[in-house]
A and B are shown apart, each in its own frame.
Chain A
Amino acid sequence: MAIGWPQGAMDLVLQLLFTGLGIGAVYALVALGFVLIFRATNVVNFAQGEFSMVAAYLMVVFAVDLQWPYGWSFLAALAGMALLGAIFNLGVYYPLRNRTFLPVIIATIGASIFLANTVLALYGPQPQVLPGWFETPGIQIGPVYLDSQYLLIMGVTLVLVAFNFWLFEHTLLGKKLQATSQDKEMAALLGIPVATMIMLTFVYSALLGGVAGILVAPILFVSIQMGSTIALKAFAATIIGGFGDVKGAIIGGLALGVIETFGAAYISVPYKDGFAFLVLVAFLIFRPQGIFGERVAEKA
């Protein structure tokens, strides 16, 4: 059953829009990790969602089990993620870097299963609770309730998008990373340490995925499958935005969050996940390059 349009319709729309953008921002953060690795290596990293999950568990270990201050726990969890990104690069991508994309993709799927089961073995199947960053759960503005954690997620997403833009467009490191992603051989000829650049990309993607996981954990709880559910949507967002395009990932993620929230409210709740993938299929048929994608057929 869907909601009708009578009195208070505007309040409803605002409330739904807020939640949609909040959940969309999470998709966008994870999608960003997808895009960066894809651009650097031409490979989709299917363990991106597990990065979020591992980070959330690290946060539980530091902030809940060890009772460290939240900020320090956050930094420690991010340090752990940087390490994981580096190990992932060395263990999963690097040995297969000269093969076609297929073995690498299979390896990332294997790694995602490995990560999920390692956490399961270490921490058990029970979902865990991670408290939010703020004491106040949220604020009521007129008819609309703003969850403080969603506000934080949107804020962090904005900051990270800005940082991303600055890094890639205004720093030498960013230019090197871009050059590597566009043409590895050319970049190597120019003296750019390609292997290091790819290593940095994996570390950065693990950090982005980790931030997404830590931010969303207080809302969705910390569970083994939290990563895969988010990653699937983020993957769809990446395709909608245009695979390989950073602003496409952001817009695609936000759009997906809003579309599924409104679809659930006004059409059908049980088919909520269906809307995301309906949009995905429509894009694959009518605009396979996505919103911002260029019509190129070389990569792969």
Chain B
Amino acid sequence: MSISRRRFSAALSASLALPTLIGRASAQGATIKIGMCAPVTGPAAESGRYAQIGAKLAVDAVNKAGGVLGKQVEIIVEDDQTTNPGVVLAFSKLASQTDIVAFLGSIRSTQVHAMSPDVLKVGKPVMIGGTDPALTHMGNQWLFRFRPNDSYSGKVIADYGVNTLGKKKWAIVHSTDAFGTAGGKALTEALSKINGASIALDQGYANQSQDFTPVVLAIKQSGADILGSYFTFENDLGVFARQLRQLGVTIPYVGSPSIVNITALKLAGPALYGTFGVADYAEDSSPGSKAFGKIYREVAKVAPDNQSSWPYDAITILCMAINKAGKTDPAAIREAILAVKKHPGAEGEYNFDANGDGLHGYNIVKNENGTIVFDKHIESAS
């Protein structure tokens, strides 16, 4: 059998056009579709499951209340494999479905950086949970953040240590990767703006250090009366905390969010008792957080955390914004999200700024013999 060149190219163009035509047809379908990139496989698969449950709870609530623009909402999940190439692939797969109106990106800053150029090209709103301050300050108008960024955690740690605990001579310990360096810098900057606060020690360490004796001894020698930290990995934090106690350092300790996560609590055990941490989700911080915690526990059978709370808020606010905009036009949705003020979410009160940052404060929690107890919420001035 021979195929003429003309017939071949006609068949080729038909098969290329077909998915688009089908896509068009279903765009007039019965549901509003939201794409979600989540780690279904890979090291973060467990937290990816929590994120999907959080998103699902929000969708159920929205659909029960009448849906969006009179239609039911549907989430389409694509596996990001917990890697940067994975998230780029997942996003482009979702973006090729033209009837998807908006997306949920990643909780990992590095993944959001990786997918950001494609987000610009696609030109549709993407909700994110990564906390690198740069993400909403690099000219990508389609990223909207549903967790407070790291510039606020530095401010809140400094504020709590100086104004609540009354300690001014700081030792700062941070990892030397992108997260730890940015965090350490944010804390240093925040302290430099507080009268009387000084930095006795600013100590970086490389991830996966097997031993922190030199760091602990340096803290001891610096004469600091309070310790602030940005640890990336829980096992490093566990080794550090234990050596801190063994070598007799007992000064107050306020850490970045990793200090209160479940893995760190398990690894470090009593070594972290009495420490303080900043947390974007704290169950007892507001009625909204409590309500989310209650419905989440029923479904997931584990304690709620920020992995599940931000997708919940992201879906809720996104649907609210589309309803308010009255259409699924990306620019209209963007404007409606930025107009969200004083919305009580699971993570806290959302007041979107022009950059796309929804939250501007952190909760301070205390580790009381292994239980995380909400202490206070500190809203950052800027």
Q: A interface vs B, CB < 8 Å?
A: 1-4, 8, 12, 15-16, 19, 23, 26, 120, 124-127, 129, 137-138, 145, 147, 219-221, 223, 225, 229-230, 261, 264-265, 269-273
CB pair A265 B247 closer than 8 Å:
no
Chain B residues near A19 (CB-CB < 8 A): 211, 213
Q: Select the residue from B45, B217, B239, B269 with max chain A CB neighbours within 10 A.
A: B217
Shortest CB-to-CB span from A32 to chain B, Å, is: 18
10 closest residue pairs by CB, A with B: A265-B214, A264-B214, A125-B43, A19-B213, A270-B204, A221-B235, A270-B176, A127-B235, A229-B208, A269-B205
CB pair A1 B210 closer than 8 Å:
no
Answer whether residue B263 sits at the interface, using C-beta atoms and an 8 A cutoff: yes
- The CA of A147 and the CA of B202, in the complex, are separated in Å by 26
Answer whether residue B373 sits at the interface, using C-beta atoms and an 8 A cutoff: no
Shortest CB-to-CB span from A5 to chain B, Å, is: 10
- The CA of A42 and the CA of B138, in the complex, are separated in Å by 54
Report the tally of A-B residue pairs with Cβ distances under 8 A: 87
| With A127-B263, A129-B266: A221-B214 Cβ-Cβ less than 8 Å | no
Shortest CB-to-CB span from A238 to chain B, Å, is: 17
Q: Select the residue from B45, B211, B239 with max chain A CB neighbours within 10 A.
A: B211
- The CA of A12 and the CA of B217, in the complex, are separated in Å by 8
CB pair B209 A15 closer than 8 Å:
no
Number of interface residues of B (CB under 8 A): 32
CB pair B211 A15 closer than 8 Å:
no
CB pair B221 A3 closer than 8 Å:
yes
Answer whether residue B46 sits at the interface, using C-beta atoms and an 8 A cutoff: yes
- The CA of A3 and the CA of B200, in the complex, are separated in Å by 12
Answer whether residue B37 sits at the interface, using C-beta atoms and an 8 A cutoff: no
A230-B210, A261-B214 known, 11 other contacts, Cβ within 8 Å: A8-B221, A26-B210, A129-B266, A129-B269, A137-B246, A219-B210, A220-B210, A221-B235, A264-B211, A264-B214, A272-B206
CB pair A221 B238 closer than 8 Å:
yes
CB pair B239 A220 closer than 8 Å:
yes
- The CA of A225 and the CA of B263, in the complex, are separated in Å by 16
Chain A residues near B210 (CB-CB < 8 A): 23, 26, 219-220, 229-230
- The CA of A264 and the CA of B222, in the complex, are separated in Å by 16
CB pair A270 B206 closer than 8 Å:
yes
Given B215, B221, B234, B266, which contacts A269 in the complex, CB threshold below 8 Å? B215
CB pair A273 B201 closer than 8 Å:
no
- The CA of A205 and the CA of B366, in the complex, are separated in Å by 46
Chain A residues near B266 (CB-CB < 8 A): 129
CB pair B235 A16 closer than 8 Å:
no
Given A16, A270, A271, A273, which contacts B213 in the complex, CB threshold below 8 Å? A16
CB pair A126 B176 closer than 8 Å:
no
Chain A residues near B209 (CB-CB < 8 A): 272
Shortest CB-to-CB span from A230 to chain B, Å, is: 7
A-contact 0/1 string along B194-206, CB 8 Å cutoff: 0000000111111
Chain A residues near B267 (CB-CB < 8 A): 127, 129, 221
CB pair A15 B46 closer than 8 Å:
no
Chain B residues near A126 (CB-CB < 8 A): 46, 263
CB pair A125 B239 closer than 8 Å:
no
CB pair A1 B247 closer than 8 Å:
no
Shortest CB-to-CB span from A131 to chain B, Å, is: 10
Chain B residues near A4 (CB-CB < 8 A): 221
Answer whether residue B218 sits at the interface, using C-beta atoms and an 8 A cutoff: yes
- The CA of A1 and the CA of B200, in the complex, are separated in Å by 10
CB pair B218 A145 closer than 8 Å:
no
Shortest CB-to-CB span from A231 to chain B, Å, is: 12
Chain B residues near A3 (CB-CB < 8 A): 214, 217-218, 221
Chain B residues near A8 (CB-CB < 8 A): 221
| With A221-B239, A270-B204: A15-B263 Cβ-Cβ less than 8 Å | no
Answer whether residue B17 sits at the interface, using C-beta atoms and an 8 A cutoff: no
Shortest CB-to-CB span from B250 to chain A, Å, is: 14
Chain A residue at minimum C-beta to C-beta distance from B213: A19
Shortest CB-to-CB span from A261 to chain B, Å, is: 6
Chain A residue at minimum C-beta to C-beta distance from B248: A145
Shortest CB-to-CB span from B76 to chain A, Å, is: 25
A-B contacts, 21 listed (Cβ < 8 Å): A1-B201, A3-B217, A3-B221, A12-B217, A15-B247, A19-B211, A26-B210, A120-B43, A124-B45, A124-B46, A125-B46, A127-B235, A127-B263, A145-B248, A220-B210, A221-B235, A221-B239, A269-B204, A269-B206, A270-B204, A273-B206
Chain B residues near A138 (CB-CB < 8 A): 246
| With A1-B203, A221-B267: A15-B176 Cβ-Cβ less than 8 Å | no
Answer whether residue B44 sits at the interface, using C-beta atoms and an 8 A cutoff: yes
Shortest CB-to-CB span from B305 to chain A, Å, is: 13
Scan residues 263-303 of chain B and give those whose CB is less than 8 A from a CB of chain A: 263, 266-267, 269
| With A4-B221, A138-B246, A221-B235: A270-B205 Cβ-Cβ less than 8 Å | yes
Shortest CB-to-CB span from B181 to chain A, Å, is: 10
CB pair B204 A261 closer than 8 Å:
no
Scan residues 177-232 of chain B and give those whose CB is less than 8 A from a CB of chain A: 201-206, 208-211, 213-215, 217-218, 221
Scan residues 127-176 of chain B and give those whose CB is less than 8 A from a CB of chain A: 176
- The CA of A122 and the CA of B190, in the complex, are separated in Å by 44
Q: Select the residue from B176, B203, B213 with max chain A CB neighbours within 10 A.
A: B213
Chain B residue at minimum C-beta to C-beta distance from A265: B214
Chain A residues near B211 (CB-CB < 8 A): 19, 23, 261, 264
- The CA of A102 and the CA of B239, in the complex, are separated in Å by 37
- The CA of A23 and the CA of B269, in the complex, are separated in Å by 22
- The CA of A293 and the CA of B267, in the complex, are separated in Å by 41
